[in-house]
Amino acid sequence: MPSPLKKQLAASLQNGFVLKRSVFQPCLELYPMEEWDLMMEKINKLNRFVKKNNDFIRRFTAGVKVVEIDALGRLLVPKDLVVFASISKDVVFSSAVNIVEIWDKDLYEKSICGEDLDFADLAEDVMGNINDNNNGVS
């Protein structure tokens, strides 16, 4: 793990992390345990007698592993998750607000290239109606 990232995660090192498959991308998601606990609070509110909820929970938690980062900043990624993310040689750690995505470098480059996606349109669709400051500036 890059040392600047390890420094940013220093407060979470003692509590550990959860590593899981991403829902939308061929990458892994590294949750600090505090973030994972918050996510589990939300998921635990779902009614397990609704089939969609039960199916979602099963798929969302598939392959979840509790992991630690050692004193040298190494993270042992279980083989099944390496296979899922098609990690071959070079790895990219990408900040995704409150979690870290772990990508195979080539797949990451393809995902951000976005030849099939107009980022300006996406930004407008996702962020265009947010104005927290009420001053017309996002």
Q: What is the CATH number of the domain that holds 96?
A: 3.40.1550.20
* Domain ranges, residue 58: 3-127
Q: Residue 136: inside a domain, yes or no?
A: no
Amino acid at 1: M
Alpha carbon distance, N-terminus to C-terminus of the chain: 33
Question: What's the pLDDT tens digit per position in 8-54?
Answer: 787 777 888 999 999 889 999 999 999 999 999 999 999 999 999 99
Q: Is the dihedral of CA 33, 39, 45, 46 positive or negative?
A: negative
Amino acid letter, 60: F
On whether residue 63 sits in a domain, the answer given is: yes
Total domains in the chain come to: 1
Quick check: is 135 in a domain?
no
5 pLDDT above the threshold of 90: no
Query: In the beta sheet, which residues pair with residue 94?
Result: 101
Task: State the Cα–Cα distance between residues 23 and 85, nearest whole angstrom.
Answer: 11
Note whether residue 22 is domain-resident: yes
Q: For the chain, what percent of residues have pLDDT higher than 70?
A: 90
- Facing residues of 102 across strands? 28, 93
The pLDDT, as a whole number, for residue 130 is: 67
Q: Global pTM? A: 0.81
- 71-117: per-residue pLDDT in tens? 888 889 999 999 999 999 899 999 888 899 999 999 999 888 866 66
Mean of per-residue pLDDT scores for the chain: 86
Q: Is 90 within a domain?
A: yes
pLDDT at 138 over 70: no
Does residue 132 fall inside a structural domain? Answer: no
- Domain-located, residue 103: yes
Q: Hey, what long-range contacts does 40-45 have (CB within 8 A, 24 or more apart)?
A: none
User: Helix, strand, coil % (nearest 5) of the chain?
Assistant: 40, 20, 40
Q: Are 43 and 57 in contact (CB under 8 A)?
A: yes
| Residue 32 included in any domain | yes
pLDDT at 120 over 90: no
